Amino acid sequence: MKKTILSYIKYAGAGLIASIADNLTYFICNHLGVQDSWALIAARIVSLIVNYFLLHFAVFQHGRRKDSFFRYTLLVIFSTTIIYYLMQWLEKLLPNIDPVLIKMGLEFLMNFFNYIAARFFVFEDRKEKTVHEA
């Protein structure tokens, strides 16, 4: 249990660093005159790469899966899609709630799912039945 809590704290820290990289990239692109949509895409790509490497080397410590980057990318796409559709639904259901608060709440909840998915789907070595974590 203690190992799992420490692993989750590292996971959350990696997410915070990736978020900083995302916002910094967006800020730089935006100030260089890059169109908003392209700046957002660039920021998300940088964030995805930073977060993947932090998870791979610092949190789940060198998962042996050769397809972990592909699996991580699928997880990001899946999570983003779920959050998008839940936001559409909740914004109609709760019109007096700020969409930013809805997004933050959904991302907070999705974070726990993403941790479990990353631990067992992205970085697990199925051949050895081991999970690489802190």
Segment 37-63 mean pLDDT: 88
Reduce the DSSP state of residue 29 to 3 states and report it: helix
Q: Domain locations in the chain?
A: 2-122
DSSP structural state of residue 133: -
Instruction: Report the percentage of the chain scoring pLDDT > 70.
Output: 90
pLDDT at position 116: 92
pLDDT at position 125: 55
Q: Please provide the average confidence, as pLDDT, over all residues in the chain.
A: 87
- Distance between CA 17 and CA 85 in Å, rounded? 26
- Distance between CA 51 and CA 14 in Å, rounded? 6
pLDDT at position 130: 52
Can you list the alpha helix ranges (DSSP code H) found in the chain? 2-31, 36-54, 68-93, 99-117
Residue 123 clears pLDDT 90, i.e. is over it: no
Give residue-wise pLDDT tens across range 74-110: 999 999 899 889 989 999 999 999 888 888 888 889 9
Q: Is the overall model pTM greater than 0.95, yes or no?
A: no
